[in-house]
């Protein structure tokens, strides 16, 4: 087992990824180590997944405890951890019903299928059009890449599912003109994550709500990246004072254990009758036990308030770096979903910043070629933010030089 290296990747893996040079082998909180023992500060958080850092002791305990009891049953039986987690999600949100999956893409797949089913059963088959937005990201299954607004992810995979329209995000006029009696769903991320950390305007979200009500369309919020505390609210819709009809969650939901969920109001959930949809592993006891513990910790008001406070520190530090090196146009996002958009001079170079940061033992992300992204643990300490930002400053200095 020790006989593998980064080179092994190029020999045995499908070449759809281009992983960085080091291989982390151990993590604790916001720290990671590679096999030489080099320590890294982790502001990538497994792409907004490790909301409680690596190997949080309470998550490890929940995993071990459940791991010695029961891992898997299939949905021929229900199980206590799934019921407990569903109860918490229902009590803590707008939703009346929960469907469990194993990833974000699967949660969205369920949501899009639900919208089609709900519309065809209640209004007829011609009500099938899904409205989505450019630059959006909803997963990598054929349906979810098709609903997503990034053509590079559908190219070569045609023929694609039909009946999907992509509009400009935050463009109210365009939305009003496009929506019709045939619209079955409007799907959006409250902050476009992969598309460049672009927050939805409050007025835009309100308009989506209004039009969905007017046209009996399902309002689907993809909160896979914004969800579970990332914005300083349990879910980002809570910032906007509206409720969606359907919401998808994954990433932070399991704190690092793969799990996804679709949350829905009763009348929409009812469309998925017995046998209409399913998943072998969805709602397995092991994943649900870990997610249930993650929910308890993340939903603690002190943790959520902490997210908002730490954001201020990130913004202040990024602005200080920017005053010195003039690399960013703006810092955007919500809570600990931080996007620093590169200015004209550095367009297309987000990966250079990411690689330079790694050389300073700091892990960060990009959100497209023009945005540096950070999505650290919600429990990151002020000292770790200071340390990480000092490393980022050195990395920026190198790129600029
Ligand atoms: C990551 C992500 C997905 C896809 O989740 P997977 O678990 O990779 O399938 C979907 N939507 C958004 C907004 C995401 O950030």
Average pLDDT, the chain: 98
Q: Is the beta carbon of 255 within 6 A of some atom in ligand 1?
A: no
Domain with CATH 3.90.1150.10 in the chain: 6-55+301-400
Angular region, 179: left φ>0, alpha ψ -120 to 50, beta rest? beta
Residue in 295, 309, 303, 273 with CA at minimum distance from that of residue 385: 309
Whose C-alpha lies nearest to ligand 1, atom 5? 104
Q: Is the beta carbon of 193 within 6 A of some atom in ligand 1?
A: yes
Q: Is the beta carbon of 373 within 6 A of some atom in ligand 1?
A: no
What does the angle CA 311 – CA 189 – CA 358 come to, to the nearest 5 degrees?
50
b/e burial code for range 341-352 (CB count within 10 A of at least 16 → b): bbeeebeebbeb
Domain with CATH 3.40.640.10 in the chain: 70-298
CB neighbours (10 Å) of residue 326? 13
Q: How confident is the model at residue 97 (pLDDT cuts 50, 70, 90)?
A: very high
Q: How far is the CA of 388 from the centre of ligand 1 (A)?
A: 26
Q: Residues marked as binding?
A: 137, 140, 222-225, 279-280
CATH number of 6-55+301-400: 3.90.1150.10
Q: How far is the CA of 223 from the centre of ligand 1 (A)?
A: 9
pLDDT at 2: 67
Q: How far is the CA of 57 from the centre of ligand 1 (A)?
A: 26
Q: Is the beta carbon of 189 within 6 A of some atom in ligand 1?
A: yes
Residue-wise pLDDT for 194-217, tens only, equals: 999 999 999 999 999 999 999 999
Q: How far is the CA of 49 from the centre of ligand 1 (A)?
A: 10
In the CATH hierarchy, which fold is given to the domain comprising 70-298? 3.40.640
Closest ligand 1 atom to the C-alpha of 105?
9
pLDDT at 225: 98
- What does pTM read for this prediction? 0.98
């Amino acid at each position: 087992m020790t006989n593998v290296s980064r080179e092994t990747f190029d020999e045995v893996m499908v070449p759809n990824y281009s992983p960085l040079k080091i291989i982390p082998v151990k993590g604790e909180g916001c720290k990671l180590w590679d096999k030489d023992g080099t320590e890294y500060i982790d502001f990538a958080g497994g792409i907004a997944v490790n909301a409680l850092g690596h190997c949080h002791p309470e998550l490890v305990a929940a995993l071990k405890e459940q791991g010695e009891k029961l891992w898997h049953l299939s949905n021929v039986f229900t199980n206590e951890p799934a019921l407990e987690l569903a109860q918490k999600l229902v009590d803590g949100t707008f939703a009346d019903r929960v469907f469990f999956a194993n990833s974000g893409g699967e949660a969205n797949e369920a949501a899009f299928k639900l919208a089609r089913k709900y519309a065809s059963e209640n209004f007829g088959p011609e009500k099938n059009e899904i409205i989505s937005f450019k630059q959006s990201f909803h997963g990598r299954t054929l349906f979810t890449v098709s609903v997503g607004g990034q053509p590079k992810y559908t190219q070569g995979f045609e023929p694609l599912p039909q009946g999907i329209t992509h509009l400009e995000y935050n463009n109210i006029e365009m939305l009003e003109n496009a929506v019709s009696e045939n619209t079955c769903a409007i799907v959006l991320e409250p902050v476009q994550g992969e598309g460049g950390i672009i927050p939805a305007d409050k007025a835009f979200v309100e308009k989506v709500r209004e039009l969905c009500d007017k046209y009996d369309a399902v309002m689907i919020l993809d909160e896979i990246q914004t969800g579970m505390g990332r914005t300083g609210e349990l879910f980002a819709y809570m910032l906007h004072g509206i409720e969606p009809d359907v919401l998808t969650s994954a990433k932070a939901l399991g704190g690092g254990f793969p799990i996804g969920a679709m949350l829905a109001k009763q009348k929409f959930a009812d469309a998925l009758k017995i046998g209409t949809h399913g998943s072998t592993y969805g709602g397995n006891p092991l994943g649900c036990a870990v997610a249930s513990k993650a929910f308890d910790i993340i939903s603690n008001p002190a943790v959520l308030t902490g997210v908002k406070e730490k954001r201020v520190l990130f913004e202040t530090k990024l602005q200080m770096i920017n005053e010195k090196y003039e690399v960013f146009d703006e810092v955007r996002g919500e809570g600990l979903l931080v996007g620093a958009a590169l200015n004209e001079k550095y367009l297309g170079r987000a990966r250079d910043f990411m690689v330079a940061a790694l050389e300073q033992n700091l892990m960060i992300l990009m959100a497209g070629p023009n945005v540096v992204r950070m999505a650290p643990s919600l429990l990151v300490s002020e000292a770790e933010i200071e340390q990480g930002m000092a490393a980022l400053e050195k990395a920026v200095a190198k790129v600029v030089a």
